Structure 1
Amino acid sequence: MKYSILGATGVQVSRICLGTATFGVAPTAHDADRVVGAAVDAGINFVDTADVYGNMPVFDRPGAPAATDREPAEQILGRALRSRRDEMVIATKSNGIVGHNINDRGLSRRHIIRQVETSLRRLETDYIDLYYAHDPDPHTPLEQTLAAYDDLIRQGKIRYVGLSNHPAWQLIQALWIADDRRLQAPVAAQVKYSLLDRAAERELGPACDRFGVSIVPYAPLHGGLLADLAVLDRAVSGDQRFQGAGFTQAEIATAREVDRLARDWGLKPYQASLAWLLSRPAVASAIVGAETVDELHANATAADIALEPAQLDALTALADQPPEFQHRAGDGPERPAATDRPTTD
């Protein structure tokens, strides 16, 4: 396993990060312990979760326990890491809807402090290494959110701050506020990013590269399409895991070409796709939501693969500006700031 420095923290994180969005569903709560153990044994020391992961209806799928019968992913993770907590860099998040009260959401000081305490209890730890703002909150000034994070850092409850799904202009705003008010600045930006979804490269990527903020991509294999074409035979794949749409024909065509090139090079498509992503500027670690130990072991191998320049160029050219990227290039922010559908990794 290879490692990168996370932002300006001096902390080394594995280039593959274990994602837990579907913990309790796939893997089940019982099997998650084995997946976490396999990750640690493979040298993975970076794990990503959130206060809304695991036990919400959006994660339902046939054959899985109902949402009301599932534990939060944080709780499953905390139990799995009881004897290994100090070996791991744990990232979690807040902002999503976690209750029926109108204030059980957002990035207000009130909600952040409450959710940090909840996450600490579930994770069975007294500190969180990296704490993300999980999507922008249009109702709370960014100054208040950053000040709350700064207080929590001073209290020793969190170590570092990150932004998830924030556009480049808000990242720059956060860096400016932190500098102006002598607050702890964000060290990482989590964003959906893969060979098939390169919208992050338009503005966020250059901003992170310029200011030393690490990019931590989620969905790096585009819902499994870049991992293995066998995903097309699954009953549930891609964003369908979170009640979204399936793959487009253009995406499938590109994935078939990735598969062909990778096999010509003696690689698996997931190795080529992840190695390409890990070569991009500012990318520190890619979040892989492995559902089985075998998937975890397979994806972990990508961290040790260094593609030749010609190979990187060939992959880059496949989706230099895919249709989705071209469409977004002329648009403003398209994500709703508040939603009852949680962002996943």
Structure 2
Amino acid sequence: MNSLSAFHRPLGSTGLQVSPLGLGTVKLGRNQGVKYPNGFELPDDRQASALLDLARDLGINLLDTAPAYGISEQRLGPLLRGQRQHWVICTKVGEEFENGHSAFDFSARHTRFSVERSLQRLETDYLDLVLVHSNGDDQTVLDDQVYPTLAQLKREGLIRAYGFSGKTVEGGIRALEQGDCAMVTYNLNEQAERPVLDFALSHNKGILIKKALASGHLCLHGEDPVAKGLELVFAHPAVGSAIIGTINPHHLEQNVATAIEVLGR
């Protein structure tokens, strides 16, 4: 079986080593209000466990989750028992999703509450990476208490690194100036945030890519959209990992095989 293990790389200066593809887990916990082309049923525990085992066998060590991903964190905790040392776990703060609606809170109190709740749900005593789930008003979010609180939680040893999942170049660069990592939209359709990647490269900061395949909406006539999408992403040396959200084992294997082909060139 093809494996990404040989292609693990540092995530900026965080000290974390990550696989070039990470597994996004929104589809383990939420199927309401998601921007995918087709509806889907949440996998049962057996299917979810098999998917995680496959990801690990394929050399994926990065899992991306969030409180806003429905019951994703609550499910991952039991599913990952006995495997903690094999995974780099990234979760988020700031966004809550309840009854089909998102709400945002970037206060110090809620940030600490959210991290402590994630630790309980994920059944771990530390989180590798915590990102701020921005509402799009990046500068205002960064003016709030969320970043100083994450810095304090890092000093306390509850998190190893922190960063920002935003929507703007200005927010991404400011977040990297003060934190460890940014999660950036970057794909064949959307490259406006490339300056954030350039800044990260020159300052040895971590970059994770979201929507690398445009959430399944990527279409190219006569060419493999996954290969072309990953070629673009991995061509930038700042990129640590691209988060791919899938619950289809075949798609996961295909994406890993394509990534290995692109990275091996």
Distance 2:181 2:20 in 1: 14
Give the equivalent residue in structure 1 for 2:260. Answer: 304
Give the equivalent residue in structure 2 for 1:153. Answer: 154
TM-score by length of 1: 0.65
With 30-39 and 275-284 compared, the bigger mean Cα shift is at 275-284
Q: Report SS of the residue matched to 1:110.
A: helix
Following TM superposition, by how much is the alpha carbon of 1:21 offset from its aligned partner in structure 2, in angstroms?
1.2
Amino acid at match of 1:21: V
Note if 1:11 corresponds to 2:16.
yes
| Aligned match for 1:194, one of 178, 187, 192 | 187
- Unaligned segments of structure 2, at least 5 residues: 32-40
Give the equivalent residue in structure 2 for 1:90. Answer: 89
| Aligned match for 1:289, one of 228, 240, 245 | 245
Contact 2:10 2:240 in 1 (8 A): yes
Give the equivalent residue in structure 1 for 2:68. Answer: 52
Give the equivalent residue in structure 2 for 1:29. Answer: 44
Distance 2:207 2:66 in 1: 17
Contact 2:131 2:165 in 1 (8 A): yes
| Aligned match for 2:213, one of 209, 218, 221 | 221
Give the equivalent residue in structure 2 for 1:273. Answer: 229
Distance 2:264 2:52 in 1: 32
Distance 1:14 1:160 in 2: 17
- Unaligned segments of structure 1, at least 5 residues: 56-71, 179-185, 227-251, 263-268, 310-345
Distance 1:192 1:77 in 2: 25
Amino acid at match of 2:157: G
Q: Deviations over 1:240-274 (max 9, x none)?
A: xxxxxxxxxxxx4xx11xxx244xxxxxx423422
Cα root mean square deviation, aligned: 2.4
Distance 2:133 2:83 in 1: 26
Structure index of larger Rg: 1
Distance 1:141 1:307 in 2: 35
More strand by share: 2
Following TM superposition, by how much is the alpha carbon of 1:98 offset from its aligned partner in structure 2, in angstroms?
4.6
Give the equivalent residue in structure 2 for 1:80. Answer: 79
TM-score by length of 2: 0.83
Following TM superposition, by how much is the alpha carbon of 1:120 offset from its aligned partner in structure 2, in angstroms?
0.8
